[in-house]
Chains A and B, each alone.
Chain A
Amino acid sequence: MTFNIIGSILPEVTIAIAICIVILVNSLVRNASVTLIHSLVLFFLSFALFLSFVSLELPDSNIFEGHYVIDAFGTNLKIIALIAAIFVHLTSIKSKQNIKNEIFLIQLFATLGVMILCSAHNLLTVYLGLETLTLSMYGIVASNRNSIEATESAMKFFILGAIASAIFLYGVSILYGVTGTLSLDLIENSKLLDSLEMRIAVAFMACGIIFKFGAFPFHSWVPDSYQGSNTTAAIYISSVPKIGAFALIARLFLDSLNAISDFWSILILSAGLLSIIIGNMIALVQVNLRRMLAYSAIGHIGFVLLSFSIVNPNGVSASMTYLIMYLIMTIAVFALIESIASEDHQHIELGDLKGLSKSHPLIAFMLLFCMFSMVGIPPFIGFYAKWIVLSELVNNDMIWFALIGVTMSVIAAYYYLRVVWFMYFENNDQDIENKGVINTQSITSIMISAMLLLIGLYPSPVIDYTRRIISSFLLID
């Protein structure tokens, strides 16, 4: 019995063990090199990934008194999260850097938090998973502790995060008061599901969830922390935590509160729509590359939420498809930026990209892929993401939202193209020499960028995959 339980949560256990080992290594081994830490982290992440694949075979089960659930949906999300985390780690490999080893440790905590969120089936577990994630994110953002920007953004993030988690908790408390239970299964069966109290609780919780996604109006932390932290941190917080948020919204709202989906879908819808509009509009006038990407991320998340608010399996799987493709794009973009950012020059303004096509031709070319993908130009995956969401919107008589979405995409195209324009159409006044240093990091970032095109040429697997996961998830419960 016990072994079965442990067996079911082996991926999480692996990460937990990894945390302990890394702590030990980091403190006991004299001058533990980055490479060593990296290798350890990578090894454990890959091992956890492997175990997750193995546990796909396991039958669905509720463990820890129903606080934790092992099902295909959760495991698949874990797999995605782990893959994302692995890529993030790969892109952080840099020969020369002043990033402290702790950041990788804290990232492990965050990954653990996401994994807990993927499987949590009790509001308490959800809360703890969420806090594991959130607290680690504070640490990640602040990890560049000697930088004013990093600490400032971490401080803001912390305050806002604390407010958000308090708001979320307030919702949970009312939910608890209404239903008398913390278990997601039992909430579903509550007779008061359709009451006003319930809706108030859901509204509170929705705020918390939207904050985690980083969507309007709970988005304020996103630009500051993307810009303030170093790129390694930005890659992480822009990618993996979104999966946790998705798991959260899926388990809590889609599954347990499906009965009042017509209520919460409107909250999610409005947040999504406003995110698309506000995010893209503000991104237009940004000069800092990471800040611009942050706003663009808000816009992308808007699409995810918009599609999620359709609620039916098609809509949700479209939302998940968008999320996955967004992850690939965002990791690729940040990885490329990371690989051109020098140590003393972390804050890349658009102007710094001038002449990139000459100094780093390959990186520039891949960044071009990314930008067109973000715009939503085929055959890159960004297009399929947009298209599948638009399809579902049109299919569900939300054609006006689709029109707003595409219009904003056109506006968004401007600022994405600006990146291309600076890279290719402007010449750097100073040095025009090929600095194309090929290192592990560049190779990784190029690999990921190439995925944009490759998946773009044959997107069926991703589309079918999400569809399968979501439909199994919604049918089981």
Chain B
Amino acid sequence: MLLEIIFYTFASILICASLGVILFKNPVYSAVSLILAFITTGMLWLLLEAEFLAIVLVLVYVGAVMVLFLFVIMMLNIHQEEERSGFTKIAPIAIFLGLVIAAELIALYWIQSDQFSGLESISNSSLSVDNTLLLGTELFTKYILSFEIAGFILLLAIIVSISLTLRTRKNVKKQIASDQIAADPKQRVRMVDIKRGEN
């Protein structure tokens, strides 16, 4: 019963927060809503005994990704509300479609399925090892290839982000390490014959 109460409470908050994300006019509010949604999600995941992921979600998402979002919002200074023309024209269709998709999925889960209703919630506590350890073990044995690929994806993200945003500003004095290393005395010092009487 307690679980149900927790679930429904957090579920409601999650839904409200999600709605907040899409409905707030100020992007900062939206971002904060999203943070709320992430935290709530983390709570719900704890219910499902995915402790590690719940923590990762909060740490990585809230702590890193959402901060990035907020940082960008602040940096670009885009908190004001923009035009909303045409909202009414397309919104009903979009909302209708959203409802249709939700209805389709819910119908799938509740009406048709034997598969989804047949499963019972079983506590993980019967297992002797904790979630994080299990995940770690799996990750570095069975899923090593995926792990490597994920590494490459992160590398890719770094490269793309840098190549898109790194700017070498003109008229700004800064150190260029490679130039310094490559410096050669012969190019630096120019021997000049000063003729007498010219100066």
A-side interface residues toward B, CB under 8 Å? 16, 19, 23, 28-30, 64-65, 67-68, 100, 102, 105-106, 109, 112, 116, 124-125, 128-129, 131-132, 135-136, 138-139, 142-143, 145, 177-178, 192, 195-197, 200
Contact = CB atoms under 8 A, between A and B. Distances in A.
B113 A30 contact: no
A27 B52 CA distance: 37
Interface in B137-171: 142-146, 149-150, 152-153, 155-157, 159-160, 163-164
A21 B178 CA distance: 17
Given A128-B150, A135-B153, A106 B160 contact: yes
Given A109-B152, A124-B146, A135-B157, A145 B182 contact: no
Given A132-B152, A177-B116, A196-B108, A68 B179 contact: no
Given A102-B160, A135-B160, 6 more contacts: A30-B182, A64-B144, A109-B156, A128-B149, A128-B150, A132-B153
A125 B149 contact: yes
Contact of B146 (A23, A106, A128): A128
A64 B146 CA distance: 9
Given A30-B179, A128-B146, A106 B164 contact: no
28 contacts: A19-B152, A23-B159, A64-B144, A65-B142, A67-B142, A100-B163, A102-B159, A102-B163, A106-B159, A106-B160, A109-B152, A109-B159, A124-B143, A125-B145, A132-B152, A132-B153, A132-B156, A136-B156, A138-B160, A139-B163, A139-B164, A142-B160, A143-B163, A145-B163, A177-B116, A192-B115, A197-B113, A200-B105
A23 B155 CA distance: 10
B156 A177 contact: no
A28 B177 CA distance: 10
B112 interface: yes
Interface residues of B, number: 26
A145 B160 CA distance: 11
Interface in B91-114: 104-105, 108, 112-113
A128 B153 contact: yes
B153 A64 contact: no
A112 B115 contact: no
Given A30-B179, A195-B115, A68 B156 contact: no
Nearest to A112: B152
B52 to A, nearest CB: 17
Nearest to A132: B153
A197 B164 contact: no
A142 B164 contact: yes
Given A196-B112, A197-B108, A197-B112, A139 B149 contact: no
A65 B145 CA distance: 9
Interface centre among B116, B142, B146 (most CB of A within 10 A): B146
A143 B108 CA distance: 42
Nearest to B154: A135
A197 B160 contact: no
Contacts of A109: 152, 156, 159
A203 to B, nearest CB: 10
A179 to B, nearest CB: 9
Given A28-B178, A106-B156, A132 B115 contact: no
B159 A67 contact: no
Instruction: List 7 tightest A-B contacts by C-beta distance, closest first.
Output: A139-B160, A102-B163, A64-B145, A128-B149, A30-B178, A109-B156, A65-B142
A177 B115 contact: yes
A128 B155 CA distance: 13
B149 A132 contact: yes
A67 B144 CA distance: 10
B146 A67 contact: yes
A125 B115 contact: no
B156 A139 contact: yes
Nearest to A23: B159
Contacts of A129: 149
B9 to A, nearest CB: 24
Contacts of B178: 28-30
Given A67-B146, A128-B149, A145-B163, A178 B157 contact: no
